[in-house]
Structure 1
Amino acid sequence: MAAAPAAATNAPSAPPASMFDSVPGYEGTVAGGGGGYLPPPMPAVPMPVPEAGPAQPNWNIPSISEDAAREAFVNFASSKCCYSTGPAKDGVITSMEPFNTYRYRLETFTESRSTEWLHEPYSNQPLDAGMQRAPGPWEIAAQMPGFFQDTIQNIKVPYTSSVKMCHACVGMGRVPCKDCTGCGSKVCWVCNGSGFRQTNDRCMHCNGRGRDNCFKCSGKGTNECSTCRGRSQLLVFINLKVQWTNNKEDFVVEQSSGLRVENFSKVSGREMFKDSQFMLYPVMGFPDPAVAQASERLIREHMSKYGQMVRILQQRHTIELIPVTRVTYAWKGKSHLYFVFGNEMSVNAEDYPATCCCSVM
């Protein structure tokens, strides 16, 4: 049986440039690699007007009780497979110090758009290339999700769909089998191609032919083209990728408890202030100047980072008060400490004194 054309043996991984039509407004779009992010038209938007800062409520959270601190510690030790609960249950609490920590969070919800040429097997899909002017990337309507939700939507750009011959199989619908290099058979593994066994008897596996039919292609020498799925033609079109991203950054005010800042990413606090607008103005009049400074810096950085190549749809900032209690306790004559923090009553105990309670018998 004749094999597929030799040109298809080393089929290109991507369509040739000549396969694509020139579409006004999409000249920089390439196959599979995207055309890069497309800057949105800049709307005439007034700058945000500064507002009064958050009213000052009671910024202090009462310290937790000794019983609550011990219960959180016991639950922590019990959750560790190699921790003895002895220190948590029997340790004597000698002091408890509250440290309330502010966390400022800025979220900037953006929309970005990029394009690329894509193709799929042609099965009589509608063809509309050249019928009208293709709308620009930012003229195409997209269904936006709720604010501050990461989402991706792919849209086939109208008036860019055309049919082309498949580049992978040169329009044959089949490609040479890689397992047998298009021969349809392979050397018999039993007789190593001789047709005879070591006893000079004819090889029964291949009936003395010295070759076996290729299992991958059933002896045909070709397989269905995976690019066009045997249809010989491809639908070629421009794909618009619309991506909504919630760009979030936190700032935790330096505090003297000794608990490392990265621990705060795992917990929540009491929300003391929240504001959401199209564009935000930095927080003003906050009791801790570090929060106001962080707000001004992060808003400025977000405008510089996202204000050109993507469209800002909404911004939101919040201030949380995260409770931290540093607990000092004595166990077996030595002093140790642990932290209870966040609404979740999480525990951090890096110097837990009994971490090897299991042994190998």
Structure 2
Amino acid sequence: MTLETHQADSLPGMPNVEANAPVYLTEATEKTPITYIGQPHTNSSTANSKTNKAWTLPLGEATSAAYSWPDAPDSDVVDNPNAKEPSYQMTQALQAIPGYETTTVRKGKPHKKKDVPISRDFQQKFQELPAPLSKADAHGVLKDHVSHKCCYGKRVINDLEVDKVINVPVHQYKLSTFTETRQTIRLFEPFKGQKIDNLNNPFPPTIWEVKNSPDSLWKKHTKKCTVPQSSTIETCHGCTGRGFNKCYRCLGRGTTKCKKCKGTGKAKADNCLECAGSGNRRCQLCRGHACIVCSVCQGYKQLHFYIQLISDFNVLEDEVWLNATKVSTKSLQKLKKSKVIETENIMVSPIINYSFGDVNNASDSLVTKHSKEPTKCIIQQRHVLFALPVVEGQYVWKRRIKSFWVYGHERLVYAPEYPESCCGRCACTIV
């Protein structure tokens, strides 16, 4: 008599054994083919028309094991209340889901997105910047600056003539992209007869066709959903369709060694009072039945497998400062800036026809970079361009061209080449 025939005959709640496709036990000691009533893959009409009944441990305590496991030890083992249930590995192949053949019970790599071409808007409107300083204004700002610096020679400024003023504004460009990354995993739950997707439709939506909208824009979060038409009904791999497994505390014997007499049945010259001389005690986990309800399917013998979509929403940000002056960018970051353009859309067009080519190139580079992320689908984008006014004043001193910079709406001055300066001997600085 096979293992499965014996269990079906001995325990309540099991169907009669019929000849069907073989499924295999998952225990390392057994590779015995077993038969299971019903098809391994059930369509939706069958699955939803009945309510599965779970196998349950018989009521009361058993005086002997209700089922004889062929791999149970020949003698009782020492009772271990801390014994852990073994893991039940899946050995049977699952039914493939079209379009999700690489999805397994382990979380997979992010799926590649479809490439979307970058749109280009040639009608962009930019805010006008303040007119740059004239040579006379630049000289006046430098003169005022020198008057407040004790280490600068005051006579030089009167003889110094600004020959040229160059408009060199500093720009800050920011690009933010709200993205979605999608991964899939195949999960399962006990099949209790609950209503599931229509399995008669063999073609679920593709990975990027599944609707799983973000809860809110520009906030990092994860959202999960079930892929429609991805359900299958499979025989439980934990118990191979029985609904129960061997008790892991008594190892399938129904009894364990008596702790008092250590299995001898004797206490000095008399019988052990704990076990009445038998040398064993009824297993406290299975109550002597040698079986426990399968923890994988909870006794329902079947599992509902489905594909779960995991969407990770994140914000990808890049920023670039375009500074062609000798003024440190760190000195500029805290100053007030003028907003030149700000746009938000599903996909933004890179800045194209701005009057400073380095801004156009930087914007195009970052927008292209974000669009080329292979697994990040763009949900929303926004970019903003700021400008900070800066002019470079040039003058000739002792036959050498020297420069100073007036920057910011505050008209601050940076003049590291100013003649007759002796900074370092006092608390003043050249800025």
Determine if the TM-score, normalized by the shorter chain, exceeds 0.5.
Answer: yes
Instruction: Determine if contact 1:173/1:224 at 8 Å carries over to the other structure.
Output: yes
In the alignment, the residues of structure 1 paired with residue 106 and residue 68 of structure 2 have an alpha-carbon distance, to the nearest angstrom, of 29
- In 2, Cα distance between equivalents of 1:126 and 1:5: 38
Shift of 1:41: 3.1
What is the identity, as a one-letter code, of the residue corresponding to 2:113? Answer: P
| Residue equivalent to 1:28 | 102
- Give the match for residue 145 of structure 1: 215
| Match for residue 312 of structure 1 among 378, 398, 405 | 378
Cα distance change, pair 298–46 in 1 and its aligned pair in 2 (3 A): closer
Deviations 1:77-114 (A, max 9, x none): xxxxxxxxxxxxxxxxxxxxxxxxx9976432112223
Match of 2:238 among 165, 168, 191: 168
Report if the CA contact (8 A) 1:271-1:319 is conserved: no
Is the 2:233–2:303 contact (alpha carbons within 8 Å) kept by the matching residues of 1? yes
Q: Which residue of 2 aligns with 1:114?
A: 183
Q: Distance in 2 between matches of 1:278 and 1:144?
A: 14
Larger radius of gyration, structure 1 or 2?
A: 2
Whether 2:107 is the aligned partner of 1:39: answer: no
Deviation at 1:309, TM superposition (A): 2.1
> Which residue is equivalent to 1:214?
283
**Does the C-alpha gap of structure 1 residues 47 and 112 become closer, same or farther in structure 2, counting only changes over 3 Å?**
farther
Aligned residues: 262
Secondary structure at the residue paired with 2:210?
A: coil
Among all aligned residue pairs of Structure 1 and Structure 2, give the percentage whose two residues are the same amino acid.
27
Match of 1:343 in 2: none
Higher relative contact order (CA 8 A, sep 6+): 1
Q: 1:276 aligns with which of 344, 347, 351?
A: 344
Say yes or no: does 1:131 pair with 2:201: yes
Query: Does the 8 Å contact 2:351/2:360 carry over to 1?
Result: yes
Distance 2:122 2:313 in 1: 26
Q: Residue 136 of structure 1: CA displacement?
A: 1.7
Deviations 1:42-66 (A, max 9, x none): 3455246595667669xxxxxxxxx
- Deviation, structure 1 residue 294: 7.7
Q: Provide structure 1 residue ranges, at least 5 long, that are not aligned to the other structure.
A: 58-101, 258-263, 322-361
Contact 2:118 2:347 in 1 (8 A): no
- Say which is worse superposed, 312-321 or 205-214, in terms of deviation: 312-321
> Deviations along 1:121-170, whole A, 9 cap, x unmatched?
00112352233532222222223322112233333222232222111101
Aligned residue type for 1:28: T
- Choose which of 13, 22, 29 in structure 1 pairs with 2:89: 13
Q: Gaps (5+ residues) in structure 2?
A: 1-64, 73-84, 131-170, 323-327, 388-431
Partners of 1:138 and 1:275 in 2: CA distance: 26
Q: Say whether the 8 Å CA contact 2:120–2:350 is kept in structure 1.
A: no
Matches within 5 A, 1:190-209: 190-197=260-267, 199-209=268-278
1:111 aligns to what SS in structure 2?
A: strand
